Amino acid sequence: MKFFIVTCLKEYHDVVTKIFKQANIRVFSVTDVIGFKDNHTPNLLADWFASGDEKFDSMIIFSFTDVENAEHAMDLIKKYNDTSDTGFPLRAFIVPVEKTSY
């Protein structure tokens, strides 16, 4: 099992939902976030949001899913980013799940 996470601007919610469906990820959660970035402090998320002291209405869309679905979704995200020139690429992460309660 994998924890598949996508961050994006709110405007791309429909794009990510379509990608999840194409990857056979039918159950997922969405949470709104406000992303900030200033260039004064080092940050592991340095490329997550645009540069400057701006804030961005963003979202995190995530699901616990099979390895195959997560890999397929990652491939679709990469393809989307390669073919679109939005300036705000989708960010995707696959995180292993070591244990579950069920």
User: What global pTM score does this model have?
Assistant: 0.81
- Across 10-54, the runs of DSSP E, i.e. the strands, are 29-36
The structure tokens listed for 70 are 């997560």
Q: Render pLDDT for 2-47 as a digit per residue (tens, 0 to 9).
A: 999 999 999 999 999 999 999 999 999 999 998 776 655 555 555 5
Does any domain span residue 101? no
Structural domains counted in the chain? 1
Give bridge partners of residue 60 from the DSSP assignment: 7, 31
Does any domain span residue 102? no
Does any domain span residue 68? yes
Burial (CB < 10 A; 0-12, 13-18, 19+), residue 83, is: exposed
Q: CATH no. for residue 9?
A: 3.30.70.120
User: Whole domain around residue 50: which residue ranges?
Assistant: 2-96
